[in-house]
Structure 1
Amino acid sequence: MSTISIVSTTNSNFVTPLATLYRSILVNNSNNNFDFYIFGDHLTAEDKLQLKRLELDCNNCQQINYLSVDESLFRQAVTDDRIIKAAYYRIYTADLLPQLDRILYLDCDLICTSDISQLWQTSLNGKVIAAVEDAGYVPRLAEMGIKAQQPFYFNSGMMLIDLKRWRDENITKKVMDFINQHPEKLKYHDQDALNAVLADNWCYLHPKYNMQSRLIRREQVHPLPPAEILAEEARQDPIFIHYSGRSKPWLEFGVRPHPLRNEYWKYAPKTLQLTTKQQIS
């Protein structure tokens, strides 16, 4: 059995969704072992116990590991009510995991529906990362004044990363320099910085590996017809469902229900479902 290494970032508010994501991965990937690396933003002992249960409940969960980074490095990071400073910590993944050559980064608000072996084994063809185009189809590179041969802009909620190449090309410093030197350009926070630095240096993945909410709701049609065909394939057979945007499956009030919210509750730990709903309400 191969071991797949996964990195995520969370605070206490997103521990239950993260545990649910990891459980969905473990349930649907019994032929692989997993090591999880978490950038925790002031997690409590109870938070860590909730995640520790995965090691006890799932035979293919080898270890839950925690990473830390100096918060002062992000003094100038642009944040808002949805994007916290800890969201930027993942930029230091390659520096903090020198023993690894490849990782899969995942946001907390995803669910895995099937085997990810093929994704894990994807060749990056000399690029630093592989990712899925952002379903907003926004011309962010042009808006930021970034010159690139390909105008595509990726969603950073799922990234397959060649850590060795990241280190060799000094991507951490380049991204941090962009964050500190161009805060006015960070409309979409570190995702903008990552796209600015990695323009033309990422592989285009099928949207089934990061089926975002805009794609699910058919809110926009891709300007390129072949890409819209891929979008429809993703809707029919997603590998990762990404509850991007404000509508989350664990939110009961204040937002329109997510069309695939029931997929989330298939994997949420039964003992936590009622507690989570009570906390939200």
Structure 2
Amino acid sequence: MSTITLLATLDQAYLPRLQVLLTSIAVNQTDTSVELYLLHSRIPEKNLTPVARQCQILGFSFFPIQIPESSFADAPVTRTYPKEMYYRLLAPHLLPGHVHRILYLDPDTLVINPLRPLWDTDLDGNLFAAAAHTGKTELANSINQLRLGTDHNYFNSGVLLMDLDSGRSEIIPEDIFRFVREHGKELLLPDQDILNCLYGNRILELDDAVWNYDARNYNNYLIRSSGTCTMDWVMSTTSILHFCGKSKPWHSGYIHRFGILYKHYMQLTRRLGFSPE
């Protein structure tokens, strides 16, 4: 089987979250090799050592890439729009040319079943595969369509399967920078809004209940599936849990039911000697 190639883009504060994610991948994706590319701007090399050590022990290949400040000299950059927000969309231009396909995962995701079926998905000529958090009990999708003037579902950018070869010819950095200059004040979730506005018609839609399950919305999934998406179903079928929103399971007071599962992987990561904070 081919190697699964993963992408993370984060700052130093999220390195412990990446370590928990890596543990969850190692536990649930045991039949193939994994390599991880990390795009960052200012993480000191010494702070990457725990991740490098974990990858070595797990048998993953690790390729951290520090992006030079000069790479985004022409990009609109503010506190609201830091240069890091561009990394996942511009990954085709930031990663080595021999990398042809990559799976981006937000560091606040958890893998609880194999990734292989997603990795092997035929993109059918699309630039990306992604999921939209839709359903008759959720209004955000329709609101975002109206807000952005799009005619497709509003895709979440936390899980993205990317065709890098097509992206190198079709994703033009200046197009993205120009869009931000012209519409920056209208963007609520900047990189996600950019993805939907510029490339929403080039996205293969995935089943969010399997590949980008919003961990806050168990009851919504249960209702919209007419009772199919029970806890047993999630544990056997869902591959990626996404802890969306400001409330996170590593913080005290997290109220949603999958928080205990995240804490289990945190403890397992510690037990393996990787010690996430």
The answer to whether the superposition gives a TM-score over 0.5 is yes
Partner Cα separation in structure 2 for residue 38 and residue 205 of structure 1: 24
1:59-102 Cα shifts (integer Å, max 9, x gaps): 2x0223324153544434562xxx85423322221012222211
Displacement of 1:145 in angstroms is 2.9
* 2:176 counterpart of 1:178: no
Q: Which runs of 5+ in 2 are unaligned?
A: 135-139
Q: CA RMSD in A?
A: 2.7
Partner Cα separation in structure 1 for residue 41 and residue 228 of structure 2: 34
Aligned to 2:137: none
Aligned to 1:263: 261
In structure 2, give the amino acid aligned to 1:177.
R
Change (3 A) 1:138 1:16: farther
CA contact (8 A) 2:221 2:229 kept: no
In structure 2, give the amino acid aligned to 1:152.
N
Aligned to 1:164: 165
Partner Cα separation in structure 2 for residue 229 and residue 102 of structure 1: 35
In structure 2, give the amino acid aligned to 1:48.
L
- Please give the TM-score of this superposition, normalised by the length of structure 1: 0.82
Displacement of 1:27 in angstroms is 2.2
Displacement of 1:133 in angstroms is 0.3
Q: Which runs of 5+ in 1 are unaligned?
A: 277-281
Aligned to 1:249: 249
Q: Secondary structure at the match of 1:182?
A: helix
Aligned to 1:198: 199
Displacement of 1:171 in angstroms is 4.5
Deviates more, 1:137-146 or 1:67-76: 67-76
Q: Secondary structure at the match of 2:22?
A: helix
Partner Cα separation in structure 2 for residue 111 and residue 23 of structure 1: 9
Q: Secondary structure at the match of 1:86?
A: helix
Aligned to 2:215: 213
Change (3 A) 1:217 1:230: closer
Aligned to 1:116: 115
Aligned to 1:141: 145
**Identical counterparts, % of pairs:** 25
Partner Cα separation in structure 2 for residue 47 and residue 218 of structure 1: 39
Displacement of 1:19 in angstroms is 1.3
Partner Cα separation in structure 2 for residue 231 and residue 165 of structure 1: 37
Change (3 A) 1:229 1:127: farther
Change (3 A) 1:46 1:230: farther
- Please give the TM-score of this superposition, normalised by the length of structure 2: 0.83
